[in-house]
Amino acid sequence: DAKTTQPPSMDCAEGRAANLPCNHSTISGNEYVYWYRQIHSQGPQYIIHGLKNNETNEMASLIITEDRKSSTLILPHATLRDTAVYYCIVRPPSTGTASKLTFGTGTRLQVTL
């Protein structure tokens, strides 16, 4: 599995965009990038995933570099409720026998007034 590297913590002012980086320099061609977040004392929440192209949904945008060695999760207008630990996970398509998620230590995002 490709290893991911994330900064341990980041701060963001409410209303500003939060840009969370993830380095996955050993990613393979068929591996997807997934992002989850975990708000204190709750279960992790799926945010978004992508393979090559940039992706956007109602929660966030995912920008993957052309060489796919890194990606950035963008929360366009961060609110206090976005304060959480954000996990970047790289996984190949499930073969039916390898669908477990491997969580690292993530980035603790603190959104402040």
Taking the least distance from each CB to another protein, the nearer of 25 and 94 is 94
Taking the least distance from each CB to another protein, the nearer of 53 and 113 is 53
Closest approach, Cβ 15 to another protein, in A, equals 28
Taking the least distance from each CB to another protein, the nearer of 54 and 112 is 54
Taking the least distance from each CB to another protein, the nearer of 21 and 44 is 44
Give the interface with another protein as residue ranges (CB under 8 A): 32, 34, 38, 42-46, 49, 89, 91, 93-105
Cβ atoms 83, 73 nearer than 8 A? no
Closest approach, Cβ 61 to another protein, in A, equals 17
Cβ atoms 78, 72 nearer than 8 A? no
CA proximity to 39, closest of 76, 80, 6, 77? 80
As a whole number of Å, the CA-based R_g of the chain is 14
Closest approach, Cβ 105 to another protein, in A, equals 6
Closest approach, Cβ 43 to another protein, in A, equals 3
Angle ∠(91,49,23) on CA atoms, nearest 5 = 65
Beta bridge partners of 91: 32
